[in-house]
Amino acid sequence: MHGTKVRMNRTQKVLLKLEKEMHARLSRRITSLGYEPDEVLAVLPPRNQSTYARLLVFLEYEELNKDYPFSAITELQYACSWYPTVVIRYLHYLLDDVGVPPIEELELYRKLILELHPEQIAEVTALERRWKSCLTN
């Protein structure tokens, strides 16, 4: 029993260390782009898998466009084009944990995702049904 407790404590310490290192890396990455880490991490908390994936997509886009501030493609278009499943999971997170944004916003996501990824129609339709049912409740 004592050996198990010692191993659990070591594992917790390693996990805490890894979490601090990840947070430091994210903070450096966010700061290098000119944003405040606390503000960005408040909007996209890395504790949630969906928001963490969405944060990584956002950072990737910002790093790609760091030298080209007047890009012809927006971050939303980039995310929906290259990472539609990340965006769909993030929208489910918004629906479940944050609240329901306006339906017009969902229509924009639907258009952007289905333009290049028509195979995502079932996922987008299911999300849209959930979204609309939450609006009526």
The answer, yes or no, to whether residue 11 has pLDDT greater than 80, is yes
Contact 132, 107 (CB under 8 A): no
pLDDT in tens, 87-114: 999 998 888 888 767 677 888 999 999 9
Q: Averaging pLDDT over each range in 47-51, 66-70, 133-137, which range is the top one?
A: 47-51
pLDDT in tens, 58-70: 999 999 888 776 6
Task: Using DSSP, state whether 66 is helix, strand or coil.
Answer: coil
What is the Cα–Cα distance from 71 to 77, expressed in whole angstroms?
Answer: 11
Min mean pLDDT across 1-5, 17-21, 26-30, 80-84 is at 1-5
Contact 75, 61 (CB under 8 A): yes
The answer, yes or no, to whether residue 1 has pLDDT greater than 70, is no
Full-model pTM: 0.80
| Amino acid at site 85 | T
* Burial class, 82, CB count within 10 angstroms (exposed 0-12 / middle 13-18 / buried 19+): middle
Query: Which of 59, 104, 67 lies closest to 86 in space, CA to CA?
Result: 59
